[in-house]
Structure 1
Amino acid sequence: ITGRIGQVMLALPLVVISVLIASLVECFLILPGHLRHSIKHGSKSPSRFRRWFDRGFGRFRDGLFRRFVQLAYDWRYTTLAATNAVLIVTIGFLMTDRIKFHFFPQPPTEILRARIVMGAGTPREQTIKAVKMVESALAEAERKLGKGEKLVVSSFAKLGKLGYSQGNHLAQIDVQLTATESRSVHTNAIIRAWREALPKIPGAERISVGGRRSGPGGRDLDIRLTGKDIAVIKRAAVELEELMSNFPGVQDTADDLPYGKQDVIVTLTARGKALGFTTQIIGEQLRNAFEGAIARRFARNAEEVTIRVLQKKNGRGIQILRDLYLKSPSGAHVPLLEVVNIREKSGFSIINRRNGKNVISVTADIDLKVSSGGEVQKALERKGLPEIARKYDISYRFAGRSEDRASAFANLKLGGAVALVLIFIVLAWVFASYSRPFIVMIIIPYGIIGAILGHLVMGFALTILSIIGVLGLAGIIVNDSIILVSQVDERLGRGESMAAATVGAAQDRLRAVLLTSLTTIGGLLPLMFETSLQAQYLLPIAITMVFGLAVSTILVLIIVPASLGVLDDLARVLGKRRSGSEKPLLDHGGP
């Protein structure tokens, strides 16, 4: 996986691979010595509990469990149809949004942020007053919710800059909350209370309050609008913001092209042209009036000295222009207002260009309990966004987390395919058969049942980490299938029938299959109940593996025997079995 997701997840496979290599070393070099020592001193009789447990496990294995596997084998077509139906229904939960999918897990944040945008040209003192009013609203929310409990550790404000924009009308407040596990009030409740406590601030164009999102950078929704005329793109951005605000869960919509100070637009009139003025002449004289005209340059001590003549200015703002005189090409002095028209309009504080084109980013955060970035993106593409693009003759694309999501899914598809091919190659080499790996790997898709049901039971949304967990789960659940198929091979080699071999193999390897899965589940259970903020990022992986292993452990004991029986029936129909022989069903020739 490349990109920012790959950077976040890089440590996970490296640690897992290192641990597996260490376990191989322990298995082949250290474990034999331990076994030798335990066997030498293991002649004493089992304890009373061990004897009781073995008797009970034996009765279960040879009684209820044997009848269960025999029933699954006898009704193998019904068994496979039922398990496939469960798999389809489970995937349907995801496709119909019964269970949500969020790109990256978002545990409650401990840092809140308020963005304040006043009207362009607002004095710094007025912005400071607005900041104090927002901070007072936070203190009121803390008193209302905390009831004596400390919720805020510290807060600080930054004036004059907001993202890439600068100006005295901009401010930002960052708030550090107490640790999530040490307070009783949820972060979302604090954000809601802060928003409700905000007063109406005179001159404020936009005040947004939210939490700083963790994980890969970028907003939940980031739409890049591209076009020729920046003013047209701005109108499209404003319309898009209004459209996005109508979707449930979408909040703090904004764009990265804020209005700056007022621009003065000077237009040459017909009278001015008749007097010989041009746009260049007027521009040069206006620049000289405000910046000064260079009267002379001369060298002194190897340095160039510039003499600039400045005009004394009387008044402020646009009044200076109204009192200004220009010199015509004929030498006459004419009032500026006689040759030009002057008007004011709001300008932009910063303009972004990519590949020579004007670009505006329209962003928003999404309440993941209400909706998700994928849902809103699909809804916008279905209705609204294409119409805006056609109306203003602009193009658009989804960036930010949407871009990361598309890249990660593309990489996961390739990685999943490579992983399955590698598993098949290893199994084909070990079993010396091309067909055997398919029986072993048939259990892999059924791990999805446990993964999806686990997230549903635990109240978690599926994330990119859940999908990565499914890929890891595929490499684990085949272990149970390998154990079972190997025992079936051994029994078939002794001349047993397929029915007797599959049922007997399930009995023989029940303890091994359970131990293989339960030890992994036991190792992950502490993580399932961890409440720290850092553990919340790994919970989707833990849920996927714990529930996926739990479900696949049960299914492997019925799906593998049933699949072997179906394949044996198919071989009979195709005439690939010798009459009266009971050789192993699958080819034992080399690949």
Structure 2
Amino acid sequence: AIVVGEEALTQFDAGRSPTEAATAGATRMFAPVIASSLTTLCAFSVLVAAAEDAPIREIAIIMLVVIAASLIECFLILPGHLRHAFERVQRRPPSRARQSFDAAFARLREHRFRPLVRLAMANRGTVVTAAFGVFVVMLLAWTTGWIKTQLNLNLDFEQVQANVRFVSGVTDSDKAAFLAHLEETLAATDEEHDGNNLVAHIVVANHATLDGESKGGPQFASVQAEMTSAEERELSADAFAAAWRERVRRSPSVDALDIARERSWFSDFSILIKGADVETLKRASDDALRELVTLDGVSNLRDDLPYGKDQWLLSLNTAGRSLGLSTGELGRQLRAAYDGRRIQIFQDGDNELEVRLLLPEEERTDLRRIEQFPIKAPGGEMLPLAAVADLSVRRGIDAIHHHDMERTLHLRGDVDIGRITGQEVVAYFDANIRDRLVERYGVTTGIDEISLAEQETLSDGMVQFLLALALIYVVLAWVFASWTWPLAIMSAIPLGLTGALLGHALMGLHINPMSLLGFFTLTGIVVNDSIIVLSAYKRLVSEGVPPGQAIEDAACSRLRPVLLTSVTTVAGLFPLMLEQAPIAAMFTPLAAAICFGLLYGTLLVLLVIPVMLSLIISGTERLAQAMGRAQPRAA
């Protein structure tokens, strides 16, 4: 709409009637606006077809609908409004303020911007090298980790939780004492940080969320605290959870403790270790956890091979074997006593009842009596269990997982995104721990869950971005009937991305899915600015203006619409970029990518695109001359 309105105003200032000016503005800008819309549609259609994240796909669909609606408004509704506006201007001369602004802008364009364009055209190599050199620097800052990537959105939810798994056999009084300690440290943490962080908290017995799973049973408990809104407190949920965690004293009655913000089922990273027996996997896990816990910003480290209840291990001794006992016979007698032996089944109406004979409950629940349990030898002798077997106790494993038919455990943990990312933890593991585990324990490693999803999201995003670039190139080649002009237009994309990456670095943001969406959006916007400049050049050349002068005039004539497009977009997104509310802050990287990309890229588009167009035209002419000279020699 800005482009059409600016062109219509130019025609009106040239002396055309209101109707002619409005019509000419829409007619002359129809091709470039359609081309700009098609390139933006190409960028978002790739996301609609390939994006797996529902929010990103929905945003892309909304953008496609908005673009279609804006085209209808731009060419069917806007010209009528422009005609009425021009008629009012005819009846009432422009105000003095408007005349002063127009004169000031004209001086800026002719006395400041035009000499800058000429300077750029006179130093084409320097301009291109500098512009794309900065892009390479920012790209390296991203790929080397100076600008971090965290494709888990990490929303600041409004709850923190302490999830507890107690050791087997812990008394109710010990459970109550530790839960009371959690409540005391929660209140002390709140008081230490202005006392306005919490709304309320509750203690939940027999339930906790650990290892990404909802757990139930008497050995589980949790403390859940609701926080005030982010604007009212000084700490984020992550920082508050960390401060709470530092105050908590570990208790011998606690097997696992996870204090963190309320989050999705997945942790911030997940590393696979597999391929060995359970004991070896557990030793490999403990080895890795001892080193990972030293990383700054890593917390709640755990694996999903947790110790469970105590297990009694029985092995026949020499006396038992001499009596002819077998391990199987020993197990059958113990099972009959503790699990019972069926001795009768009878019908009670429609119900079938089973009668089982087993030890009294007080003997089955008192493990101290197991050593005196009478065992019948094959010869009929009755001997205590301790006389025929050796007994030992060890902690059992609560659950054993498999991946590709191999025993597997997951190393999981949370990160403080301000200090380290999940991808950096995985990279540290691969560089410093993996080879040692493989050599020492004979295991294999990999990534899963959120770490695998992040890797796939980044690789899929790159493929989608390349596909979008290919579609944009095809559309531009078709619209301009040239294989080389699209290269000049698309050279604006690295300029916009340079600004987007620079904005993330300055604001301390990480690259996340919303950042990638911002990159796609920015690609369409900066390409649109380039199309406007190139369309003006094409029209000027068709009117007989020399190519060099046409390039300069095109850049200067399109200064106002390009600036208006960028300024209005930045003004609309600027409040969102500064928003601190938890849900709105999710879109901060999207707004930052577009705002900084436009602020940095707009002026460079008006300088670099003319330079690139000049280089392409010069190169095409030299190639044509070379081919013309070579043709007679070939004949």
TM-score of the superposed pair, with normalisation by structure 2: 0.85
**Alpha-carbon distance, 1:159 to partner:** 2.7
> Which of residues 162, 168, 175 in structure 1 aligns to 2:225?
175
**Alpha-carbon distance, 1:187 to partner:** 3.8
Partners of 2:582 and 2:322 in 1: CA distance: 74
Distance verdict in 2 for CA 1:78–1:446, change over 3 Å: same
Alignment of 1:74-153 (within 5 A): 74-146=122-194, 149-153=195-199
**Alpha-carbon distance, 1:253 to partner:** 0.7
Alignment of 1:289-304 (within 5 A): 289-299=337-347, 301=349, 303-304=351-352
Aligned AA (1:16): M
Please say if residues 226 and 395 of structure 1, whose CA atoms lie closer than 8 Å, have aligned partners that are also in contact. Answer: yes
Please say if residues 4 and 404 of structure 1, whose CA atoms lie closer than 8 Å, have aligned partners that are also in contact. Answer: no
**Alpha-carbon distance, 1:321 to partner:** 1.9
Corresponding residue for 1:573? 622
Q: Do residues 388 (structure 1) and 388 (structure 2) align? A: no
Alignment of 1:473-512 (within 5 A): 473-512=522-561
Corresponding residue for 1:195? 245
1:79-127, Cα deviation, whole Å (9 max, x unpaired): 1111122212222332343332222343544211213343332123311
Corresponding residue for 1:588? none
Partners of 1:480 and 1:259 in 2: CA distance: 62
Please say if residues 105 and 537 of structure 1, whose CA atoms lie closer than 8 Å, have aligned partners that are also in contact. Answer: yes
Corresponding residue for 1:411? 460
Aligned AA (1:158): V
**Alpha-carbon distance, 1:311 to partner:** 3.4
| Greater shift in the superposed pair: 390-399 or 96-105 | 96-105
Alignment of 1:35-434 (within 5 A): 35-43=82-90, 44-146=92-194, 149-162=195-208, 163=210, 164=213, 165-199=215-249, 201-213=251-263, 217-299=265-347, 301=349, 303-312=351-360, 315=363, 317-434=366-483
**Alpha-carbon distance, 1:307 to partner:** 2.7
Higher helix content, 1 or 2: 2
Distance verdict in 2 for CA 1:568–1:295, change over 3 Å: closer
Aligned residues: 575
Partners of 2:51 and 2:315 in 1: CA distance: 49
Please say if residues 373 and 402 of structure 1, whose CA atoms lie closer than 8 Å, have aligned partners that are also in contact. Answer: yes
1:312-365, Cα deviation, whole Å (9 max, x unpaired): 466553332222112233333233223222111111222223444322221111
Distance verdict in 2 for CA 1:159–1:104, change over 3 Å: same
1:263-294, Cα deviation, whole Å (9 max, x unpaired): 01111234323323222222111111112222
Corresponding residue for 1:582? none
Please say if residues 166 and 349 of structure 1, whose CA atoms lie closer than 8 Å, have aligned partners that are also in contact. Answer: no
Please say if residues 3 and 404 of structure 1, whose CA atoms lie closer than 8 Å, have aligned partners that are also in contact. Answer: no
**Alpha-carbon distance, 1:483 to partner:** 0.7
**Alpha-carbon distance, 1:303 to partner:** 4.6
Aligned AA (2:54): Q
> Which of residues 21, 45, 59 in structure 2 aligns to 1:12?
59
**Alpha-carbon distance, 1:373 to partner:** 1.4
Aligned AA (1:541): L
**Alpha-carbon distance, 1:188 to partner:** 4.7
Aligned AA (1:116): V
Corresponding residue for 2:40? none
Partners of 1:314 and 1:423 in 2: CA distance: 78
Partners of 2:372 and 2:335 in 1: CA distance: 15
Distance verdict in 2 for CA 1:87–1:292, change over 3 Å: closer
Aligned AA (2:621): R
**Alpha-carbon distance, 1:29 to partner:** 2.1
Distance verdict in 2 for CA 1:117–1:490, change over 3 Å: same
Please say if residues 518 and 594 of structure 2, whose CA atoms lie closer than 8 Å, have aligned partners that are also in contact. Answer: yes
3-state DSSP of counterpart to 1:41: helix
Structure 2 segments unaligned to the other structure (5+ residues): 1-46, 629-635
Q: Do residues 21 (structure 1) and 71 (structure 2) align? A: no
Aligned AA (1:564): L
Partners of 1:557 and 1:378 in 2: CA distance: 41
Q: Do residues 443 (structure 1) and 443 (structure 2) align? A: no
| Greater shift in the superposed pair: 241-250 or 390-399 | 390-399
**Alpha-carbon distance, 1:131 to partner:** 0.6
Distance verdict in 2 for CA 1:292–1:200, change over 3 Å: closer
| Greater shift in the superposed pair: 198-207 or 473-482 | 198-207
Aligned AA (1:39): F
Aligned AA (1:337): A
Aligned AA (2:450): R
Aligned AA (1:131): L
Partners of 1:173 and 1:485 in 2: CA distance: 63
Partners of 1:290 and 1:99 in 2: CA distance: 61
**Alpha-carbon distance, 1:41 to partner:** 3.0
**Alpha-carbon distance, 1:538 to partner:** 0.4
Please say if residues 108 and 186 of structure 1, whose CA atoms lie closer than 8 Å, have aligned partners that are also in contact. Answer: yes
**Alpha-carbon distance, 1:5 to partner:** 5.7
Please say if residues 159 and 227 of structure 2, whose CA atoms lie closer than 8 Å, have aligned partners that are also in contact. Answer: yes
3-state DSSP of counterpart to 2:89: coil
Partners of 2:432 and 2:235 in 1: CA distance: 38
**Alpha-carbon distance, 1:166 to partner:** 4.8
Structure 1 segments unaligned to the other structure (5+ residues): 580-591
**Alpha-carbon distance, 1:205 to partner:** 4.3
Please say if residues 152 and 454 of structure 2, whose CA atoms lie closer than 8 Å, have aligned partners that are also in contact. Answer: no
Partners of 1:135 and 1:156 in 2: CA distance: 9
1:371-415, Cα deviation, whole Å (9 max, x unpaired): 111222111101212211332222222123211111112221221
TM-score of the superposed pair, with normalisation by structure 1: 0.91
Please say if residues 259 and 349 of structure 1, whose CA atoms lie closer than 8 Å, have aligned partners that are also in contact. Answer: yes
> Which of residues 512, 516, 525 in structure 1 aligns to 2:565?
516
3-state DSSP of counterpart to 1:100: coil
Partners of 2:245 and 2:51 in 1: CA distance: 32
Corresponding residue for 2:30? none
3-state DSSP of counterpart to 1:575: helix
Aligned AA (1:154): A
Aligned AA (1:476): I
**Alpha-carbon distance, 1:3 to partner:** 9.9
Distance verdict in 2 for CA 1:96–1:295, change over 3 Å: closer
Partners of 1:451 and 1:349 in 2: CA distance: 48
Aligned AA (2:232): S
**Alpha-carbon distance, 1:200 to partner:** 5.2
Please say if residues 127 and 170 of structure 1, whose CA atoms lie closer than 8 Å, have aligned partners that are also in contact. Answer: no
**Alpha-carbon distance, 1:524 to partner:** 1.3
Distance verdict in 2 for CA 1:72–1:444, change over 3 Å: same
